[in-house]
Structure 1
Amino acid sequence: MNRPARLVTAALTASAALLLTACGSGGGDGSSSSDKIAGADSGDKASASPSVSTSADGIDRPAVKLPSDMKMVFEGRQTGDAVKDAILADNERTVSTVWQAMAYGDLKKSGMAFYYTDNALVGIYQYAKGAIDKKTSWAGTLRYFDRQVTVFDKKSAALTYCVDESKADLKDRETNKLQGTKTTPNSYVFYNLGLKKNKEGVWQTWDLTEDRGSQKCQP
């Protein structure tokens, strides 16, 4: 396995099986419950981090800060539709919590339990824990593009997008050494997410699938 995001991106099938076997970081079978997950207390507003900040929408959110060598570029942030823009903004926060956990090796203060729920939370937790146990992170830039939101009703939606991993690389969290990779068709990944709005107003990811090397995302 020599592509960074085969380890640094979490992927769930519809049955919540984590697609990380190539990296040997373990997977989830969906049988675990969120009460065994660090940072997932109870209720819709799990206390994922003691450090929170109030955003423009009045929601107290876990603070997320990534190291300077871990960058993300999100295209198409403004659609002109307030609901879709809120979904896209929460998605940016959602993926950032996973990278924060990996960067600092801390599940409890990552914020993942604030933005992930149900099968997705179980899979993401197991994925992040596996990476942290291996002291693995990443550096470089991930580009999120062609983000498309479908709103079903006031509390449910779907989001699809592509990720360009060609400028990201695996990093040993202890030595800070990079692995070095080549760009291949598998450097481009298509994601499909199921979302629902909780009582706090947060658009949480409850399910996700990936298609690595998808023709939809090739340059």
Structure 2
Amino acid sequence: MSRLTRAGVVAVAAVTALLLTGCGDADGGAAQVPGVGEGGSSDTPEPEPEPDDDAANDGVDRPRIELPEGISAVYEGWESEDPTEQRVLSDARAAQNAVDLAIVEHEPQADYVGFYHAAEALVDTEEWIAGFVRNDLTITGTIRYVDPEVTPSGDDQALVAYCADESGAVASDVGTGEEQPDSASPYVAYRNTLQRDDRGVWVTVLVHTERGQCTR
């Protein structure tokens, strides 16, 4: 599997990368962000079912995001007994699924991407997905998202840190199925800033990643 920072996808002609790596602010800080609320093998573990939590029952009409056959996401430890923290985790999880689905469907400006992203994160995410479209690439396999940690910042903002294990997934050519070669680490540390908008959705507004920083 080949990997590259998101900034690199914009700069080079060929995308040889998998997911949202190397983007966002340098320190992952939770600064107030404008624009939120305006206007989303047998050895492979089975994906966890969507959690039955308050985020899915808060009256917000969220898009249903289902990854197609060939690509799956496994979330480990994304449950919390704290209702607010669970809402944050659920929307962060949905935002990640939205990105993965949009890459597979080649839909950078899909409504479900805009539903869960705003401000800088939305611009970066749409451009990142567009890189896959321009280079006729998709992703297959299983990606594991583990060890999430929520750090609140006031009532309407939170930092969500977690690790992605991409070792079970590959980037490949849509037409030929040829896998892209890679020697980079499959582990990525995420530090995403989420902000609760006027709908009550915890929207991802900043994404910061560091490849090789998780050893899961």
Smaller-chain TM-score bracket: 0.7 to 0.9
Structure 1 stretches lacking a partner, 5+ long: 16-41, 49-53
- Tell me if structure 2 keeps the 8 A contact 1:169–1:181: no
Residue in structure 2 matched with residue 218 of structure 1 by the alignment: 215
| TM-score using structure 2 length | 0.76
Residue in structure 1 matched with residue 121 of structure 2 by the alignment: 120
Cα deviation 1:139-176 (Å, max 9, x = unaligned): 11111111000112221111100111111111222333
User: Highest relative contact order (Cα 8 Å, sep 6+), 1 or 2?
Assistant: 2
Quote how far apart the aligned CAs of 1:123 are.
Answer: 0.6
Residue in structure 2 matched with residue 164 of structure 1 by the alignment: 165
Structure 2 CA distance for partners of 1:165 and 1:110, relative to 1, 3 Å: farther
Quote how far apart the aligned CAs of 1:45 are.
Answer: 6.3
Does 1:196 find its partner at 2:206? no
Does 1:8 find its partner at 2:34? no
Cα deviation 1:107-151 (Å, max 9, x = unaligned): 343511111111111111111111111111111111111100011
Residue in structure 2 matched with residue 103 of structure 1 by the alignment: 104
Cα deviation 1:91-117 (Å, max 9, x = unaligned): 111011111111111234351111111
The alignment's C-alpha RMSD in Å is 2.7
Q: How many residues align?
A: 185
Secondary structure class of the residue paired with 1:210? strand
- Tell me if structure 2 keeps the 8 A contact 1:4–1:165: no
Separation in 2, partners of 1:86, 1:113: 18
Quote how far apart the aligned CAs of 1:43 are.
Answer: 7.5
- Tell me if structure 1 keeps the 8 A contact 2:36–2:195: no
Which amino acid is 1:133 matched to?
A: R
Secondary structure class of the residue paired with 1:90? helix
Separation in 1, partners of 2:138, 2:170: 9
Structure 2 stretches lacking a partner, 5+ long: 6-15, 27-34, 41-54
Secondary structure class of the residue paired with 1:123? helix
Secondary structure class of the residue paired with 2:85? helix
Separation in 2, partners of 1:57, 1:178: 41
Structure 1 stretch displaced more, 100-109 or 188-197: 100-109
Separation in 2, partners of 1:143, 1:188: 10
Separation in 1, partners of 2:36, 2:207: 21
Cα deviation 1:1-45 (Å, max 9, x = unaligned): 834897222232317xxxxxxxxxxxxxxxxxxxxxxxxxx9726
| TM-score using structure 1 length | 0.75
- Tell me if structure 2 keeps the 8 A contact 1:166–1:188: yes
Quote how far apart the aligned CAs of 1:180 are.
Answer: 5.9
